Structure 1
């Protein structure tokens, strides 16, 4: 008898983006610190007395920039706390919807969702789909509804092919300048029971035996405790201003997006998912509504089965009646939510099903989001070469200062060179981030829900950090609305 060993493929290579910086500072801060040090030396050589007055503020600034808590400089933490205090003082963390209003734009969503609105477009095949339009930036987000195949019921070679196809799909985004980012969300929640009850009620005939009716009724009552509502979405955010077609208005931009979506849909079918189609405007509004009000999930599912859904479920119905953002949680209609962000990816190589426990249904409504920002193909090589040069600069600086190279420094340099070599062979480059949101309808269950998510993240070799002071933004990122926290942070600094 001959034993044959089957090789199990693993995946890895994630690394945090670094610039040419010293002491944990980025490139800009490093050159600013060096320039300040040179200016201080010159000033001290000509006016030594001035050092007595400049030394205290310089020392304080150095402490704020160099001393870190959890990897974050103290200065940034102080600035964030001050901005949070100023915002709460002006009640910017509270939202209340108007009941009687006299202008059409009153039904805005809270926080970063306020400039968004929902439009409906034709898909060219006799159907319609929804587009979330950011009126501030002009970006449009379309959502594809997909059903992923289970890796537990598939051959290992099939799963490897799906991962390879997904990598090629992401690499292709680097050749589509209009695509800004892709958001993949797995939305799970306990089955409310109404979906199964409605399905059974439609098929049961009045003259059915009483015994059969009793069995079906008992099944309907017991099934929600063991069933789950799972929805997987792929939201693609487009920037019409970056499109080579240069659309002149919203109509031309929607038409151009429809053409690009056709190719992305067909290519996505080889990534281990079945594409159900583009989400309609009512389905997008329903996803937002159930996130804000978990109790409405059954009613929304019932409305989505009706032919006149677009009239009964509009964007004005998606938002909450009230919402209050706290530093560590987010209160909204019928629920309390907590959001996390990806702090550190797995350090070791992992299998293709590493996220299975994290995205699996649980006792609470949960949304796990992966966001991919593909670098343009023309810029990917330059960015990776800068990363290699930055790693070499830090290694040279350590040698000049007599410091030993740590194991993590060696690993980071090797990963930077590996990424540059893979890009030279045709691989794409993506900036990846992860966000998680869990919602409870009873605040007494919040600690249990937090432990559920954090234990699942540990099983996936992922470190999550709670979004202190940014709970509303994290909550919105997991919705099919095209929100990107990295873009929001850059926008706030302008």
Structure 2
């Protein structure tokens, strides 16, 4: 008799949409309706004026309605103009002198410039690193974790881990001071220095020559098959949103440390083991290895030395030279390309859907998932607005005689499903994904791009290269608390 095994699937994500028509957002829709109404009134009272006002209005409408790859032509033109202007001003190039004596000598490039690294006590006698954004006041700490493999676990255990992770994210909606959580899986070919140091320190001088030869051959060939895997959870804290209202940086760090204790203990049921909070030297080392892949072995050796309390400082993390291009990012010792999540899977998926994308490969790679939990007080209102917007679009299609497409029906069902699940206690998060791959030889770039894009396709995810934002995408996958949606809302100075 055959026994059927139930395999649980997951889904429920959808692109956030307002009351927009023809693929436009809410603001653009009302602007288009206002422009059309203005033309009608102008044509009724002053028809001759249409010769001067209609062409620019129609041109703006064309730039807003015509889309390439889901993005309006006007936005593409604006982005390219801003890129050209920044490139003309030299804002896409960074060069730091080796011997420089001025206050901004060791400032990191681009969006990392306002950041600095702090070292704080955790209340247990240990110290950990905090990345402080001096512009916004936000603090970011990183937890070093080891996830359990779903391939070696029972299906019921894996389902329980996913459910616990969902509850953990839902709990963020009740902590207004947590701005976002960034989960990053970094993989890279093992440089061989860790194994070489371990073998050389353990090898006896009187060992037989044949045994020494075998061990040396093992050290020489092992890096081709071994991989260095690092998983981390970075939590960004906004003191301004904290109910405790800390008065200064010291009080903000203390409040952040108490918040981290509660969040860390709740992670134990999510299928991961928390190793502890990353130290300031470890954070600086991660940034340094990202900019210079050749320094991975040296950084690992420095961090493994117990006799040096602070082997790496923030001044050691940044690159000496970096140049941002529209489609890639050149930096010390490597060339990187970054993508963003363009579209999630349209169907339900299994709990191991991302396994191939985050699995080790022949090139250094970082895959980041960023969660911005909506406050519990606002989640219900936001989801109800999404349901109302879906109903408005359906009513507009019926009034205009248009048939409902399968995608429209799916989107409406997802909006109602999300509202119903939130009413039963589920949390609501804005989710985004970023991926960065780095090569040390430029002729290997095409192979690295094909490797990442094929892995994303196996995960049923559409990635889109961050054209003109490669430096920001590169920084997002680092444990520094960078959030591109938040950067896009900052005022352009």
Pairwise TM-score range, normalised by the shorter structure: over 0.9
Residue of structure 1 equivalent to 2:219 = 220
Distance 1:94 1:308 in 2: 37
Residue of structure 2 equivalent to 1:241 = 240
Residue of structure 2 equivalent to 1:251 = 250
Does the aligned pair in 2 maintain the 1:288–1:318 contact within 8 Å?
yes
How far residue 311 of structure 1 moved from its aligned partner, in angstroms, is 3.4
Deviations 1:79-106 (A, max 9, x none): 0010000010111000001233333432
Q: Give the secondary structure class of the aligned counterpart of 1:256.
A: helix
Distance 2:244 2:200 in 1: 51
Distance 1:162 1:363 in 2: 29
Distance 1:479 1:102 in 2: 27
Residue of structure 2 equivalent to 1:409 = 408
Deviations 1:169-219 (A, max 9, x none): 000000000000000000000000000111112222222222222221111
Does the aligned pair in 1 maintain the 2:39–2:54 contact within 8 Å?
no
Deviates more, 1:310-319 or 1:452-461: 310-319
How far residue 5 of structure 1 moved from its aligned partner, in angstroms, is 1.0
2:159 maps to 1:160:
yes
Q: Give the secondary structure class of the aligned counterpart of 1:323.
A: strand
| TM-score normalized with structure 1 length | 0.99
Residue of structure 2 equivalent to 1:102 = 101
Q: Give the secondary structure class of the aligned counterpart of 1:7.
A: coil
Residue of structure 1 equivalent to 2:176 = 177
Q: How does 1:106-185 map to 2 (within 5 A)?
A: 106-185=105-184
How much is the aligned-residue C-alpha RMSD, in angstroms?
A: 1.0
Q: Give the secondary structure class of the aligned counterpart of 2:270.
A: coil
Deviations 1:220-272 (A, max 9, x none): 11110000000001000000000011000000000001001001111111101
Deviates more, 1:102-111 or 1:121-130: 102-111
Distance 1:71 1:233 in 2: 32
- Count how many residue pairs are aligned between Structure 1 and Structure 2: 493
Q: How does 1:221-300 map to 2 (within 5 A)?
A: 221-300=220-299
Residue of structure 1 equivalent to 2:478 = 479
Does the aligned pair in 1 maintain the 2:17–2:386 contact within 8 Å?
yes
How far residue 305 of structure 1 moved from its aligned partner, in angstroms, is 0.7
2:58 maps to 1:59:
yes
Residue of structure 2 equivalent to 1:365 = 364
TM-aligned CA distance change 1:310 to 1:82, over 3 Å = farther
Q: How does 1:307-326 map to 2 (within 5 A)?
A: 307-326=306-325
Q: How does 1:367-382 map to 2 (within 5 A)?
A: 367-382=366-381
How far residue 308 of structure 1 moved from its aligned partner, in angstroms, is 4.6
How far residue 157 of structure 1 moved from its aligned partner, in angstroms, is 0.4
Does the aligned pair in 2 maintain the 1:23–1:66 contact within 8 Å?
yes
Q: Give the secondary structure class of the aligned counterpart of 2:269.
A: coil
Residue of structure 1 equivalent to 2:36 = 37
Q: Give the secondary structure class of the aligned counterpart of 2:387.
A: helix
| TM-score normalized with structure 2 length | 0.99
How far residue 3 of structure 1 moved from its aligned partner, in angstroms, is 2.2
Q: Give the secondary structure class of the aligned counterpart of 1:284.
A: helix
Deviates more, 1:72-81 or 1:311-320: 311-320
Does the aligned pair in 2 maintain the 1:146–1:277 contact within 8 Å?
yes
Distance 2:265 2:203 in 1: 39
2:467 maps to 1:468:
yes
Does the aligned pair in 1 maintain the 2:437–2:448 contact within 8 Å?
yes
Q: How does 1:328-347 map to 2 (within 5 A)?
A: 328-347=327-346
Q: Give the secondary structure class of the aligned counterpart of 2:181.
A: strand
How far residue 312 of structure 1 moved from its aligned partner, in angstroms, is 2.7
How far residue 493 of structure 1 moved from its aligned partner, in angstroms, is 6.1
Deviations 1:107-157 (A, max 9, x none): 011000000000000011110000000000000000000001111100000
Distance 1:230 1:44 in 2: 66
5+ long unaligned stretches in structure 1: none
Q: Give the secondary structure class of the aligned counterpart of 1:454.
A: helix
Distance 2:261 2:415 in 1: 35
2:5 maps to 1:6:
yes
Does the aligned pair in 2 maintain the 1:98–1:107 contact within 8 Å?
no
Residue of structure 2 equivalent to 1:208 = 207
